[in-house]
Amino acid sequence: MGPLKPIEWVINPSATAGVPSAALADILPPDISRLARSFHRQIPGFKMSPLKSLTHLAEMLGVGGIWVKDESQRMSLRSFKVLGGSFAIYRFIKAKLGLDHLEVPLAELSSPGVRAKLGDLTFAAATDGNHGRGVAWAAAQLGFKSVIYVHKFTSQARIQAIASLGARVEVIDGTYDDAVRQINLDAEQHGWHVISDTSWEGYQDIPKWVMQGYTTMFSEVQEQLAAQGFVKPTHIFVQAGVGALAAATIGFYAKRFGAERPKTAVVEPDRAACLYHSIEVGDGAPHNFPGDLNTIMAGLACGDPSPLAWSILKDYADVFMQCPDYVAGKGMRVYAVPLAGDSFIVSGESGAVTLGALLFAMQLPEYTGLRERLELGPDSHILLLNTEGNTDPDHFRRVVWEGGDPVPNRYKTYHVST
């Protein structure tokens, strides 16, 4: 048996041409992106993360442009996740005070009077690392406690980063999905309030608020692209765990541009490809991906899709991909050692898999059909999301310094300058 292919891909036969769905209207109602961005701008020290251009790499691959929203520079947390966790906690507190219909300043919710009305709240989350860190940070900013459950494959670096924000961290002997189930049981027993980016029956509002918080990234992207003379990206490659980020990304652009939205590819680890598997099953429902989910892409190691996210992805994502770990490894190294004149980017394993997938898709002849399906070519301006920076230094050095998860010889590509 030869090495695993860098990309297995499947077309989404249900992708609409731009017909608005009830799910999209419910999850991303009018004005919600503006409200989310208005809230985030009130956070002390908040600023836009940069949109970086890989002009020379785009030329080498034969596309018009590659744009990278670099969330490794999102505040001190080096991840986009704080956008969702903070906005969900903000909306939770407003709802608890009976003010959810109002645009309440963050300073008012942080005031001693409001704090006294709320009492001692404890926020809880299950995480692969970055989401829990974002929830812990947001809770601490408002003076509340947090409890974060992680799975047994979570690195000590990620655990310590969460604990440093004042959270109590518990390691669950199982997968991320096991941690989700356990924290829900324990939260009910202890009166904690779960802030999750995945949904289940009877638990929809908070995951919806998390997804709404993510849209701040794309409001920023649109502003940053406009400054470069572009209306929108033509293509988006977006990574997925439970699917919340992918759905927020694709939903934002479907809502704004309808039938003219960018073409999209959802990228997952082959060891945790729950969305890819769900499309393969083809019955319109989300399905569990079995196994231990042990991939270097820790932030994407999820076996159960979020039904809320799936309700958007099944209607609007164009292609689903699954990739082995070496694809993320290649993406990390290319970001870290760019072509002369391109931006240097520090990217963790989950942040880099989309660049790796794009490289293989454009450079290997066996992906001609994929390129044609997505209409990738000289006029393509592709948006990638570097969702995390170096959040696990040991793993980062293993891949970038020591060449961990190397590309198999069969799939190595080289560009020879003349």
Contact 146, 135 (CB under 8 A): yes
Residues 6+ apart with CB under 8 A from 72: 78, 79, 345, 346, 347, 348, 351, 386, 388, 389, 390
- Give the whole-angstrom CA distance, residue 337 versus residue 339: 7
Report the C-alpha gap between 101 and 302 in whole angstroms: 33
What's the rounded Cα separation, in Å, for the pair 104 and 87?
A: 12
Residue from 81, 94, 263, 330 carrying the catalytic annotation? 81
Distance in Å from the first CA to the final CA of the chain: 36
* Residue 128 falls in the annotated catalytic set: yes
H or E element in which residue 194 lies:
strand 193-194
Q: CA–CA separation, 46 vs 216, rounded Å?
A: 12
Q: Which of 128, 197, 342, 405 is catalytic?
A: 128
Strands 51-53 and 145-151, bridge-based pairing = unpaired
3-state class (DSSP) for residue 139: helix
As given in the structure block, the two tokens for residue 326 are: 């070496």
CB atoms within 10 A of CB 21: 16
Question: What CA–CA distance (Å, rounded) separates 297 from 268?
Answer: 9
Residues belonging to the active site: 81, 128
